[in-house]
A and B are shown apart, each in its own frame.
Chain A
Amino acid sequence: MIWEVFRQERKGQAFVHGGSFHAPNRAFAEAYAREFYARRQESVALWVVPREEIMSIEEFPDEFDLKYRRVDGYSIKGRLKEARARVGLTERAHADAAASPAPERA
């Protein structure tokens, strides 16, 4: 039976996949998880999950290439900031910058 381990390095952080191992039951899984992922205090918490309990989703059809539905199409935050810095922070400049973003820089 294969177990997947997710580990948290610091309190409040997201759990990140750490690896996997074989163990015949929960008791062995606990002992091995402690041994492999927390022995040197490298984790503050672990999630240990039987692999078969994890729902895996891998296919995401996008037949019509609907790029406009993706939020990355509207990512102008960085360009706005750059434009503001260039022209100063007046209300007028602000509005101009928003209306016609500065060209991309390398």
Chain B
Amino acid sequence: MTSARPRADVALELADDELIVGWRNSEWTGIAPFLEEDVAFSSIAQNEIGHARALYDLAARDLGATDADALAFDRRPEEYRCAPLVQLRLVPDWARTIARHVLYETADAVRIAALKEHGDAELAGIAAKIEREEAYHRLHAEMWLARLREEERFTTAVEELWPHALGLLDPELRPALAERVGRPEVEAVERSEPGKEFAELWEEMTMVRRSAPVGAQW
């Protein structure tokens, strides 16, 4: 996340992560382990999509001739830059879902803190706004972590997803994440062209928009 990269690039990568993790988390809506959690987890998912929207808006202004919806839904699957961690379909495994949630929120805290110091004031401003909501996501993630940290299914899931979590961050931010999580830095699962699991998500996510006639207003 160096200042040398165009800010549209930085925003787009982060927006893709937020949109897709929001989408994946929203797959629990209606089927979370209990009602209260259903509402809370769905609400967090909505927040993430809200963050994606703010970042897509910024990217769209820089790129020109596009808008947030087009960036979110009109690109080809292979054009998305989201990290492998957020692409995984984890329903109906709540232990793995919470493991991803904890890792994602922790990694997000590291990169949002770095982004707040970004040379571009507008990008830094969005990061500061996102940070205020992420504080509650972390509160939620931490209470689940405290609840499940001794559970084998959960620790196994964290172990499994840890290389994916490292792949969310640029290499220079990874040591900070390793320190926070208390795990050694291992070889990360890097961003690459999205695979089959993502293609299925994309089909579902863009279905309504693709079915609409050209020029339809929302």
A21-B36, A22-B36, A32-B36 known; A27 vs B43 contact (CB < 8 Å) = no
Residues of B within 8 A of A39 (CB): 43
Interface string of B80-121 (1 = CB under 8 A from A): 000000000000000000000000000000000000000000
Interface residue tally for chain B (C-beta within 8 Å): 13
Contact B136–A34 (Cβ < 8 Å): yes
Residues of B within 8 A of A25 (CB): 143
Q: Which residue of A lies closest to B42 (CB)?
A: A35
> From DSSP, what is the main secondary structure of chain A's interface residues?
helix
Contact A35–B43 (Cβ < 8 Å): yes
Contact B143–A27 (Cβ < 8 Å): yes
Contact B36–A23 (Cβ < 8 Å): yes
Interface string of A18-36 (1 = CB under 8 A from B): 0001111101101110111
Residues of A within 8 A of B143 (CB): 25, 27-28, 30-31
| B207 contacts A by Cβ under 8 Å | no
Interface size, A (range): 10 to 19
Q: Which residue of A lies closest to B47 (CB)?
A: A39
| B147 contacts A by Cβ under 8 Å | yes
Residues of A within 8 A of B136 (CB): 31, 34-35
Residues of A within 8 A of B40 (CB): 31-32, 35
Contact B139–A24 (Cβ < 8 Å): no
A interface with B by C-beta (< 8 Å): 21-25, 27-28, 30-32, 34-36, 39
Question: What are 7 sample pairs from A and B whose C-beta atoms fall under 8 A apart?
Answer: A25-B143, A27-B146, A28-B36, A28-B147, A30-B143, A34-B136, A35-B43
